[in-house]
Amino acid sequence: MPTYLIGMFAPWFAVLIKDPTAWSTWTSFAGKSPSGNGFDILLCAAGAGVALSLIAQIGEQVDYLRFMPDLTEENKGKWWTAVLAAGPGWVILGAWKQWAGAFFTAIAVKAGVDIAKANEPIHMYIEGFKAIFPNPALFMALATFFVILSQVKINVTNAYSGSLSWSNFFSRLTHAHPGRVVWLVFHLIIALALQELGVFDVLLWVLGFYSNVAIAWVGALTADLVINKPLGLSPSYIEFKRAHLYNFNPVGFGSMMVGSVVSVIAFFGLMGPGPQAFSTFIALGLAFVLSPILAVITKGKYYIAREDQHFHGNPEVTGLTKCSICEFDYEREDMAYCPVYEGSICSLCCSLDAQCHDACKVTPQTT
């Protein structure tokens, strides 16, 4: 990480020190904009849509944060610093990286790089490291090393998070878990196929399209946390175990789907240029507003299929509990009571079981 931070910040400052006009080169850079370097609200909104595609990264950050130690009086300073830096604070570093990309693109074009290739990282950082080391062999080697290091960091996170997502999705859908390695390979095959098919050439379009779904998901999630729960429209805690959930909750899924569908229609230009540029904001607004409305209409009854009377909030259950299926020990938040096996069951074994047919719930379901 220290090497990565040095490689990201040092070229920026080196270029500004060596060429004081670099800042104005960047701020006056027009690229291919038909309106020149003047401010265009539609282009700004469209650009924000591409940037907002990264909002789903917060899910990956939270996944990393689950490895944090418990909060104590002794570590609360370091604990909160780590949580804020690796949680919401990641957007600061993410924004810097986007600014750096725009900055070095402008510098590369000024140096004579074709505008069609200036957005490729290797061309950006050749210009950056050239300001530190004039030796061609050295700045080429450093630029190559930094680009490879960045890609390794990105792909490690994507492979980890992607395999986890596939594993969760298919284990819930098929009640089968062949192992994370299988989904890791599956995810890498998809990534390689997309790379070979030239997804980078249409990356802006792909990210713009994807952001409509991602921002709708986050909008629905945020509304549930900051509106529904404080108002008592949804449970005060977050339930994730199959034993206590309906297969479908119209509050979250419904608001996300409506926001996604309407914004995608706008994204394809079927509502005009204004809504097309602001499609991601349409997705965010619709999902955020619809979530509490649907919670009121459904009276929040689709959040919990059956109350947890055995583990959640039960002060008599302390420490770890053994799963009657896999016989591993888990914290009580990860446990449920299974009437079919007449014992405690962990969330993973519960998700994978294909024999019970949700017999634990008031109305048995098919999956």
Do residues 297 and 273 make contact, with C-beta atoms less than 8 angstroms apart?
no
CA distances from 2 to 5, 54, 97, 275 (A): 5, 23, 15, 42
Per-residue pLDDT for 365 more than 70?
A: no
Give per-residue burial for 124-139: e unless 16+ CB within 10 Å, then b. Answer: bbbbbbbbbeeeeeeb
Widest distance between CA atoms in the chain: 73
Per-residue pLDDT for 364 more than 50?
A: no
Q: What percent of the chain has pLDDT over 70?
A: 95
Q: Is 105 exposed, middle or buried (0-12, 13-18, 19+ CB in 10 A)?
A: buried
Residue-wise pLDDT tens digits, 101-110:
888 888 888 8
Residue-wise pLDDT tens digits, 202-242:
776 777 788 888 899 999 999 999 999 999 999 888 888 88
Shared-domain flag, residues 277 and 340 = no
Last residue of a domain, one of 298, 321, 342: 298
Shared-domain flag, residues 14 and 137 = yes
Do residues 228 and 255 make contact, with C-beta atoms less than 8 angstroms apart?
no
Half-sphere exposure of 319 toward its Cβ, with a 13 Å CA cutoff? 3
Q: At 321, phi and psi to the nearest 5?
A: -125, 140
Last residue of a domain, one of 242, 273, 298: 298
Asked whether residue 162 is domain-assigned, the answer is no
Asked whether residue 340 is domain-assigned, the answer is yes
Do residues 241 and 358 make contact, with C-beta atoms less than 8 angstroms apart?
no
Q: Which of 342, 343, 347 is nearest to 331 (CA)?
A: 347
Mean pLDDT value across the chain = 84
Q: Which of 350, 333, 332 is nearest to 341 (CA)?
A: 350
Strand partners, 338: 343
Q: Which domain does 264 fall in, by range?
A: 203-298
Shared-domain flag, residues 313 and 293 = no
Asked whether residue 184 is domain-assigned, the answer is no
Do residues 249 and 302 make contact, with C-beta atoms less than 8 angstroms apart?
yes
**Tally of domains in the chain:** 3
Shared-domain flag, residues 146 and 236 = no
Per-residue pLDDT for 366 more than 50?
A: no
Shared-domain flag, residues 76 and 135 = yes
Per-residue model confidence (pLDDT) at position 42: 84
Query: How many residues comprise the chain?
Result: 367
User: Using 50, 70 and 90 to split pLDDT, how confident is the model at 152?
Assistant: confident
Asked whether residue 276 is domain-assigned, the answer is yes
Do residues 279 and 219 make contact, with C-beta atoms less than 8 angstroms apart?
no
pTM, to two decimals? 0.76
Shared-domain flag, residues 252 and 349 = no
What 3-state class would DSSP assign to 322?
Answer: strand
Shared-domain flag, residues 129 and 85 = yes
Torsion of CA 267, 272, 275, 276, to 10 degrees: 30
- Residue bearing tokens 């418990």: 70
Q: Hey, what amino acid is at 127?
A: E
Residue-wise pLDDT tens digits, 318-361:
778 889 888 899 888 888 888 888 888 898 888 888 788 888 87
CA angle 40–42–45, rounded 5-degree value: 110
Shared-domain flag, residues 219 and 335 = no
Shared-domain flag, residues 111 and 235 = no
